[in-house]
Amino acid sequence: MLSGLDTAPTVAILHVLRVTLHVGFAALLGVAVIRLLVFGGGDPLLPVWAGTALLLAGVYLAGTILEKRFATNGTGFDPRRYGVLWLGLVTALWAVLLAASADFAWVAFPLFFLHLHLLPRRIALLTIALMTAAVIAAQWAVSGLAVPHLAVVLGPMFGAAFSVATGLAYRALYREAENQRRAADELRRTRTELAASQHDAGVLAERERLAREIHDTLAQGLSSIVLVARAAEKSLAAGDTATAAARFALVQQTASENLAEARNFVRGLSSPQLHESSLVESLRRLCVSTETSAAAEGPGLRCRFELDGDPLELPQPYRVALLRAAQASLANVRDHAKAGNAVVTLAFLGSEVTLDIYDDGVGFDPAGLAARMDARADGSGFGIPSLRERVTALKGSLELESAPGEGTVVAIRLPLNDVPGRDGQ
């Protein structure tokens, strides 16, 4: 049910009025036919009048059935284009019967509603006036008076006036029901389009989530595997099997960790490292593994972790975002910075938690970062935008400080105002 556009009461009222109209027409026509048969036995044209009444009933019934069927199913023969012709035929047959017997005069009142519904208002009022005059004339002729009685004139006129007022009200109600139906159809279409749009937005958001997870986990892990495997290959070529074995063991460990990451983020879960230990321990192990991987790849990189303040139990999105930020930043340090030292600092500062990743590498120009990332056709350069999206989603901030030859600092700030268990801090 559409709130504010419930057309059921209006439709029910229109249905009752239509049924009443058809039943009234049938009853008045039936009474007139019975009176004609009972009191018109001496009329030699009685079979003609009875046949005409039967024809009128058939034409009326056929028109209403066709209209009802088309309105319900919307298929098949469309009677609306022949509505005026049908109304003219019904009115002509009624006029013939009225000439035969004044008892058919009262059948005019249901016809008034049809004229108001099918004809333009001015034309309908004119035809109703002519029909009312015919009814008055038929009643006057039956009375045999030289001057018609007042009731003969006022009765049909009041009946016609009541029919017009009721017919106009029906017509206004019908238009309102049509407007409500069109508005309801439009709302349904709008809701369908909105649902499709929300589905597309959900698909896009899920793609972006998978892209971030793949970049921060699988892509970085596979990159490390490739580099370490190349280093192991060089060790084998040099005959240093012990070093090669150690590097292949690191490849196996990295592949296992990435497999676990893939299984978890496909299910929409957090990093398996966070299930096994706290964020602090995960960051400390990340620094150790980064240092080990860098040593296996060639040039040494000293990576240490520092904690400032008393750790709080952070919400899972915070923990995932901070761990992913550290993973992406240290991967950049290992692959691009040519640094000798890297420091990861996690600090709890009352109203916020901060994560700073510093390296003493070659640095770069942040102003040209966006252009360089847009120019990469291999899909790389996704780390900083992905990281910024994660932080922004948590109402935090990310600052990137670097210059050629002066190293790089990635500074992340996340608010702790909504974190439970802070005891009013």
Cα(250)–Cα(231) distance, rounded to whole angstroms? Answer: 11
More confident residue, 372 or 120: 120
pLDDT digits (tens, 9 = 90+) for 49-74: 889 999 999 998 888 888 777 666 66
In this structure, the strands spanning 341-348 and 302-308 are parallel
Q: Is the pLDDT of residue 386 over 60?
A: yes
Eight-state DSSP code of residue 183: H
pLDDT digits (tens, 9 = 90+) for 152-187: 788 788 878 887 887 777 777 777 777 877 888 888
pLDDT digits (tens, 9 = 90+) for 78-89: 666 788 899 999
Q: Please tell me the least confidently modeled range out of 111-120, 209-218, 290-299, 370-379.
A: 370-379
Buried residues in 227-265 as b, exposed as e (16+ CB within 10 A): bbbebbeebeeeeeeebbebbbebbeebeebbebbeebb
Terminal Cα-to-Cα distance of the chain (whole angstroms): 48
User: DSSP 3-state helix, strand, coil percentages of the chain (rounded to 5)?
Assistant: 70, 10, 20
Average pLDDT value for residue range 396-407: 90
Contact criterion met (CB below 8 Å) for 66 and 77: yes
DSSP string, 259-284: HHHHHHHHTT---HHHHHS-HHHHHH
Residue with tokens 């597309």: 200
- Residue 204, pLDDT score: 74
Q: The dihedral of CA 198, 204, 207, 212: what is its sign?
A: negative
Q: Is the pLDDT of residue 11 over 70?
A: no
pLDDT digits (tens, 9 = 90+) for 194-206: 887 877 777 676 6
- Residue 56, pLDDT score: 92
Contact criterion met (CB below 8 Å) for 422 and 312: yes
More confident residue, 59 or 262: 59
Contact criterion met (CB below 8 Å) for 160 and 126: no
In this structure, the strands spanning 352-359 and 408-415 are antiparallel
- Residue 5, pLDDT score: 47
- Residue 359, pLDDT score: 94
DSSP string, 327-351: HHHHHHIIIII--SEEEEEEEE-SS
Q: Is the pLDDT of residue 15 over 90?
A: no
Average pLDDT value for residue range 127-133: 91
- Residue 258, pLDDT score: 74
Residue 399's region, left for phi above 0, alpha for psi from -120 to 50, else beta, is: beta
What share of the chain has pLDDT > 70, as a percent?
Answer: 79
Nearest-10 crossing angle of helices 8-39, 108-118: 140
Cα(210)–Cα(36) distance, rounded to whole angstroms? Answer: 85
Q: Is the pLDDT of residue 130 over 90?
A: yes
Average pLDDT value for residue range 397-412: 91
Average pLDDT value for residue range 20-25: 84
Q: Is the pLDDT of residue 375 over 50?
A: no
Average pLDDT value for residue range 117-141: 88
pLDDT digits (tens, 9 = 90+) for 205-232: 667 766 766 666 677 777 777 877 887 7
